[in-house]
A and B are shown apart, each in its own frame.
Chain A
Amino acid sequence: GEDVEQSLFLSVREGDSSVINCTYTDSSSTYLYWYKQEPGAGLQLLTYIFSNMDMKQDQRLTVLLNKKDKHLSLRIADTQTGDSAIYFCAENEEYGGATNKLIFGTGTLLAVQP
């Protein structure tokens, strides 16, 4: 089956940049997503990238996609303590012509030290 892998933990100091990495296996994925989950809460969509793009920037967030290596990264500039959360990478899996299923990684816990 399809698989998405992420490192479990990342610690950074406030003001530094954070880079969260993800590898996926389904080369047919058309969209790749980054979600943020704060303690005890649901998932908040942060950003997504279409598979024919290499990079997408949205304020402090930069997504890089290396389709050849099936590698996705999320860079958070000027990381703040409010960015502390679990970050999930997800790829979409399409089947049946009309069905959209997300395959999630295990999540990366980002801890921002003041």
Chain B
Amino acid sequence: DGGITQSPKYLFRKEGQNVTLSCEQNLNHDAMYWYRQDPGQGLRLIYYSQIVNDFQKGDIAEGYSVSREKKESFPLTVTSAQKNPTAFYLCASSIAGTSRTQYFGPGTRLLVL
């Protein structure tokens, strides 16, 4: 089955700790994205990558970091600099290029202890 997987489903972070959220896709998509969703709000773009070894900041990149070493993987690290990390994080992928439909993974819910 082709699709996007995210793990873990739930993640708990202690104060001052970095945590990494996994996103893998086997759709052979070039572009991948990370969004953050807060209650009652739409999705906000954190980072995106159009091609391996390249990525750009989205609207709310502060306190986050990413890497794109493989086409199928785009992990997101929530660093201790992110002061309000509690949210639902969604990964998406698409064929590269403009106006390409994005397909989403099931999401990871991050909670701060």
Which of B61-113 touch A at CB < 8 Å? Answer: 90, 92, 94, 96-107, 109
Interface residues of B in 14-65 (CB under 8 A from A): 31, 40-45, 48, 50, 56, 58
Q: Interface residue count for B (Cβ, 8 Å)?
A: 29
Which residue numbers of B lie inside 8 Å of A, CB to CB? 4, 6, 31, 40-45, 48, 50, 56, 58, 90, 92, 94, 96-107, 109
| Contact call B98/A98, Cβ cutoff below 8 A | yes
What secondary structure prevails in chain A residues at the interface with B? strand
B106 near A41: Cβ-Cβ < 8 Å: yes
Contact B42 A104, beta carbon cutoff 8 Å? yes
> Is A4 located at the chain interface by the 8 A CB criterion?
yes
A104 to chain B, nearest CB (A): 4
User: With A101-B58, A104-B43, A105-B42 in contact, do A30 and B98 touch (Cβ < 8 Å)?
Assistant: yes
Q: Is A94 an interface residue (CB 8 A)?
A: yes
Give 5 pairs: A residue, B residue, CB < 8 Å, sorted on A.
Answer: A45-B104, A94-B98, A100-B100, A102-B43, A106-B40
Point out the residue from A8, A30, A107 that lies within 8 Å of B99, measured CB to CB.
A30
Name which of A35, A40, A43, A99 has the most chain B CB atoms within 10 A of its CB. Answer: A43
Contact A44 B42 (CB under 8 A): no
A42–B99 Cα distance when bound, in Å, is: 20
Contact A100 B42 (CB under 8 A): no
Q: How far is the CB of B103 from chain A (nearest CB, A)?
A: 6
A103 to B58 CA separation, bound complex (whole angstroms): 11
Q: Mark A81-104, 1 if CB is under 8 A from B, else 0.
A: 000000010001010011111111
- The residues of B that contact A103 with a CB separation of less than 8 Å are 42
